[in-house]
Amino acid sequence: MAWWAWALVSAGAAALVSILAKVGMQGIPSNLATAIRTVVILVFAWALVYARGEAAHLGQINRRSLLFLVLSGLATGISWLAYFRALELGPASRVAPIDKLSLVFVAVLGIGLLGEGFSLRYALGLVLVMAGVLLTTLG
């Protein structure tokens, strides 16, 4: 499957996360809900690693990769805890669009730190994303 197909699967699953989490965390503190979700993800991810025979690569991970994966994990934890807290306090239909501002942040960081491409059309797309977030969260 192509990268963009996986990205669409990710987007669809992410949409389900918001709705399923909002329903599932009724009367449950957001941090506890995040912890339960994390355990499920942990078991699922390791089961997939072993099922695909990828555990053999554990010894090949260099320190730099490990450092950045650990930092990415910490960022993920912060993101999930904040997202579930936002869902606990606000409507999923308003929380999710604000969360999607990550697209703009990734674009800026990708351009600034990774040297990824930039064009007027790309900038317009980012402006439209920001406008969409404003339109869906105001009122």
Same domain, 73 and 133: no
Alpha carbon 64 to chain centroid, angstroms: 22
* Beta carbons of 18 and 96 less than 8 angstroms apart: yes
Q: Which two tokens stand for residue 95?
A: 């929380």
Q: Is the pLDDT of residue 136 over 80?
A: yes
Give the whole-angstrom CA distance, residue 98 versus residue 108.
16
Same domain, residue pair 73 and 139 = no
Residues 76 and 110 in one domain: no
Residue 55, token pair as written in the block: 């555990």
C-alpha–C-alpha distance, residues 41 and 50, integer Å: 14
How confident is the model over 28-57, as a mean pLDDT? 96
* Model confidence at 139: pLDDT above 80: no
Is the domain of 81 the same as that of 120?
Answer: no
* pLDDT average, residue stretch 84-97: 94
User: What's the domain count of the chain?
Assistant: 2
Same-domain pairing of 21 and 86: yes
Residue 130 sits in which domain range? Answer: 100-139
